Structure formats: C-alpha cells, structure tokens
C-alpha cells in the first residue's frame, strides 16, 4: 500500500514522535508498504529508513501535501502528532484520501464537543496512544481505537555489566545512587516535585506544599546520602517555564544535580540518552498528566526501576507491579474545567526511591522488561493495518457509489 506519513523526525535527538514515526515506518517498510514520510525537524541527515524522508514545516506542508497527493497518489495519509497539529492539518481531511490520525490524549476531562474532539471525529480512523485516552473517547461517543505504541527492544535493552560501568564512568557517577528523569520544560511535567523528592531522599526537610503544608522529611533510615539527580530537559522558554537552577537552590541540591538543558531543536542522541538510562539506578517521572510517557517505557526496557505518578499513560505501563506508582496528593482542574492535573506526592516518591536504593526492585524490573518486550512495532503495525483495511475499503466503496450516481452514469442507465 502507498502511504504518506506526516510526523516529526529528528536525527539529532530523541523525541516521542520521532520514536513512533521511526518504529512504525520501519515496520511498514518491512511489510512491503511504500511510504513517504513528511517530517518536521528533519535536517536532511542520513537515516536508516527505506522510506523517502522529506523535510517539512507548517509553511511548506500544504503545498507539499497537495503535490505528493497528486503525484504519488497515496492510498492513505497517516498523521502522527498531537491534537494541536492534527487540528492545524485538517486540510488533509476530506481530500478523497483516507486520513488516519495517531495522537495522545494527555488528560481527562474530555470536553466534547471541542476543537480537538471535532478534529478526532472527522478522522477516517482515530488511533489513540493510550488505553485511558481511548476509553475517554469511546465514552464520549467518538470512534477510536487504542494504538499500542511499540519500542525497539534491541536498542532499548538492559546494559551488560561492562556497558553499565562504562556509562557510569562516562558520566562520572562513581558510586552514587542516580535518579534520572527525562521531561520537557512544560507545566505538565511538574519538575519541582522531582527536585522535592530527590531532596527528601538526600535527607532534606521542607514545608510541602510550599507555604501551606506541614514540614515533611524521610525517616533517617530511609535517607540515601549519596543520591545524585540527572534531569534531561529543555531550556526554559523565554516567558514562562521552570527555572531549574532556582529549583536546585531552593531544594539545596546544587551539588548533587546534573541538568542537561537543550534548545528547541537540540537534544541527546538516542545512544547518549540510552547511556544515561544505563547509568541510572532509578527513573522518576512525576508528571501531572501524560499522553503516553515514552521515557517510562524506555527506562523499563533498559531495566531501570521506575517511579511515576499514578495517572494516565504512566499508570498503564507501571500497573501490575511493573514499577512504583505514586498517588496524587491532590487533583485540580483548570479554571475552565478542561483538564485535570494530578500532583504527585514527593514524599511518597522519595519513599519508593528509598525502597529501590535499600532493597532493589528485581521483581518489578523483570515484569517491566517482559512488558516492554511485548510492545513490538509489529503489534502496532497490525492495528494500523486493520484500520487501513477498513478505511481504504470504505473510501473505495464511497468512490464507487459516487461514480454510480454521476450524471454520466445516470444518463447511461
């Protein structure tokens, strides 16, 4: 089948959409589909895909889409992006080529009707990255199907003893207990809670929630004195965002933190990112909401015990004793009642990290590994192919029905 895929592809840094586009297109190539991938952020560099990979941006996209649709004549368009992008690319819908969308739903509530749900409703097939998001859509009466995101378990794998030692030497970590986080500098990521949890683990004590709560601290037997925190994140945007250095000072972590801040189109290569997972003793993600939480899955596949908020996409991967879920201290809904935010308890997170440091997490790690290995791109491609079969057949039948009722056909009959 001829497919036009629209997504993101950065060959210089890891990113969620790049990971999904790469894994899926590679599998589609393997199955004999012919694909053209129109990709944001692609810089023209070498890539291993058989598909043609073409750089794009919002300004060029409409013209490129029109030209490729006419010349390549794809049988379906597959767009892998967040709903803001799907909304912007609605001009690709209703062109006679079936439109299949893959997207995350980051949080409940699901307000319907809204721009986002109308965009989903007009897709020929709507594939949601999480089970909870799919459930929300179905409850709202929208047609949707769960798309099981895969992971390349050959690349994202536990290190050998030598590889782990080399990774820890490369990052100069000696015998520290390393907590690692991957997260954008985005409101949802709740970065202060991460610093708070690590500070508690190191023996810190402070009022929590700030200004309102009581003094919190871990019992001394749970403290991990040699804890070290590594955060791979984005540079603070100009107007709003977390100030990582102010947070380090506030939680007295300046001498036990490594913050890797990247510009908008910068980041670690997948190999460097993997070396951090390999070097880590625990992975921490206390987001208030997540569309899927791909770093959680990467950590699980690398054999790192994970501590994460009991919410949305994170909980799907960590439930079943595959990691440590941290309850929300409280849940708030934004002033317009559009989305919930779950504020994870730093104290509960610190306790989970302490348990990992003192007792290990062999059972959780093994279950996490089994789970990650079950999430193959072949499974994801099966779901996509089923959606393709249905939508392409429907489009063909609709075209035939239209032809039957054309003026020429009517006159002839």
Partner 1 sequence: MVYAGAEMDAAEVESCIAALPPERATFSIATGKGQHVAQAKVLLGDNITSRLRAAGRGNAPYIVFLDADCRLASAAVLDVALATLANGAGVVGGIIADGDSVLSAGYAFSIAGKPYPRFAGWSVDNEKVATPRLDLQAVPFGFLATHRALWRQLGLRPEYAGLPWADVDYCLRARLGGLRIAYDPAIQVQSTGAHQQPEPPGQWQQATFLLIKAGAAYDEWRVL
For residues 369 and 301, the answer to whether their CB atoms sit within 8 Å is yes
State the Cα–Cα distance between residues 361 and 369, nearest whole angstrom. Answer: 12
Residue whose token pair is 């769960």: 146
**Site size for partner 1 (CB under 8 A):** 16
Compose the 39-58 pattern: x for residues touching partner 1 by CB under 8 A, - for all others: -----xxx---x-xxx----
12 touching partner 1, by CB under 8 A: no
As measured in angstroms, the least distance from the Cβ of 53 to partner 1 is: 6
Residue 45 or 320: which CB sits closer to partner 1?
45
Residue 29 or 310: which CB sits closer to partner 1?
29
Residues 2, 31, 60, 393: which binds partner 1 (CB under 8 A)?
60
As measured in angstroms, the least distance from the Cβ of 52 to partner 1 is: 4
Residue 53 or 276: which CB sits closer to partner 1?
53
**Token representation of residue 336:** 């317009």
Residue 28 or 105: which CB sits closer to partner 1?
28
Binding positions for partner 1, 237-266, rule CB under 8 A: none
Binding positions for partner 1, 120-149, rule CB under 8 A: none
Residue 165 or 269: which CB sits closer to partner 1?
269
Burial label for 217, CB within 10 Å (0-12, 13-18, 19+), is: middle
Residue 13 or 235: which CB sits closer to partner 1?
13
Listed in sequence order, the DSSP H helices in 50-176 are: 61-72, 83-88, 115-121, 131-139, 161-170
N-terminal to C-terminal alpha carbon distance within the chain = 34
Residue 44 or 263: which CB sits closer to partner 1?
44
State the Cα–Cα distance between residues 97 and 123, nearest whole angstrom. Answer: 11
Q: Which residues face 79 on adjacent strands?
A: 6, 101
As measured in angstroms, the least distance from the Cβ of 65 to partner 1 is: 10
As measured in angstroms, the least distance from the Cβ of 198 to partner 1 is: 40
Residues 20, 36, 289, 356: which binds partner 1 (CB under 8 A)?
36
As measured in angstroms, the least distance from the Cβ of 11 to partner 1 is: 11
As measured in angstroms, the least distance from the Cβ of 43 to partner 1 is: 9
Question: What letter would DSSP give residue 158?
Answer: P
The CA–CA distances, whole Å, from 156 to 61, 152, 296, 410 equal 32, 6, 12, 59
Residue 22 or 322: which CB sits closer to partner 1?
22
Sheet holding 2-8, edge to edge: 52-56, 34-40, 2-8, 76-80, 99-103, 125-128, 145-146
DSSP codes, 27-62: HHHHTT-EEEEEEET--S-----SSEEEEE-TTTHH
Residue whose token pair is 């991938």: 37
Residue whose token pair is 């489009």: 395
CA 117 to chain centre: 20
As measured in angstroms, the least distance from the Cβ of 68 to partner 1 is: 5
State the Cα–Cα distance between residues 41 and 18, nearest whole angstrom. Answer: 9
As measured in angstroms, the least distance from the Cβ of 392 to partner 1 is: 20
As measured in angstroms, the least distance from the Cβ of 71 to partner 1 is: 7
Binding positions for partner 1, 64-123, rule CB under 8 A: 64, 67-68, 71-72
For residues 386 and 155, the answer to whether their CB atoms sit within 8 Å is no
As measured in angstroms, the least distance from the Cβ of 212 to partner 1 is: 54
Bond preceding residue 109 cis, omega within 30 of 0: yes
Residue ranges that bind partner 1, judged by CB under 8 A:
36, 38, 44-46, 50, 52-54, 60, 63-64, 67-68, 71-72
């Amino acid at each position: 089948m001829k497919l036009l895929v629209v997504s993101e592809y950065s060959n210089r840094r890891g990113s969620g959409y790049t990971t999904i586009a790469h894994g899926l297109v590679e599998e589609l190539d393997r199955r004999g589909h012919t694909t053209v991938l129109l990709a944001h952020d692609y810089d023209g560099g070498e890539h291993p895909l058989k598909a043609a990979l073409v750089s794009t941006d919002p300004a060029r996209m409409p013209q490129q889409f029109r030209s490729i649709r006419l010349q390549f004549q794809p049988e379906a368009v597959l767009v892998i992006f967040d709903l803001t992008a799907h909304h912007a690319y609605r001009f690709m819908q209703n062109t006679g080529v079936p439109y299949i969308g893959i997207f995350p739903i980051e949080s409940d509530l699901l307000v319907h009707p809204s721009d986002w749900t109308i965009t989903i409703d007009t897709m020929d097939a709507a594939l949601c990255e999480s089970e909870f998001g799919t459930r929300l859509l179905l409850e709202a009466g929208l047609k949707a199907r769960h798309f099981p995101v895969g992971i390349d378990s050959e690349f994202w794998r536990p290190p050998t003893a030598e590889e782990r030692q080399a990774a820890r030497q490369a990052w100069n970590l000696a015998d520290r207990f390393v907590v690692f986080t991957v997260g954008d500098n985005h409101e949802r990521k709740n970065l202060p809670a991460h610093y708070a949890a690590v500070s508690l683990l190191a023996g810190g004590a402070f009022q929590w929630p700030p200004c309102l709560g009581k003094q919190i601290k871990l019992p001394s037997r749970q403290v991990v004195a040699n804890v070290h925190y590594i955060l791979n994140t984005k540079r603070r945007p100009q107007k709003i965002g977390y100030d990582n250095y102010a947070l380090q000072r506030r939680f007295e972590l300046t001498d036990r933190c490594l913050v890797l801040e990247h510009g908008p189109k910068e980041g670690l290569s997948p190999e460097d990112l993997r070396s951090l997972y390999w070097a880590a003793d625990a992975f921490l993600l206390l987001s208030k909401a997540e569309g899927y939480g791909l770093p959680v899955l990467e950590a699980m596949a690398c054999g790192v015990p994970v501590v994460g908020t009991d919410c949305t996409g994170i909980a799907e991967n960590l439930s079943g004793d595959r990691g440590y879920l941290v309850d929300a201290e409280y849940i708030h809904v934004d002033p317009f009642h559009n989305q919930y935010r779950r504020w994870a308890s730093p104290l509960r997170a610190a306790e989970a990290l302490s348990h990992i440091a003192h007792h290990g997490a062999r059972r959780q790690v093994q279950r996490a590994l089994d789970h990650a290995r079950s999430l193959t791109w072949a499974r994801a491609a099966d779901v996509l192919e089923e959606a393709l079969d249905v939508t392409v057949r429907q489009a063909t039948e609709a075209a035939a029905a239209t032809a039957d009722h054309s003026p020429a056909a009517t006159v002839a009959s």
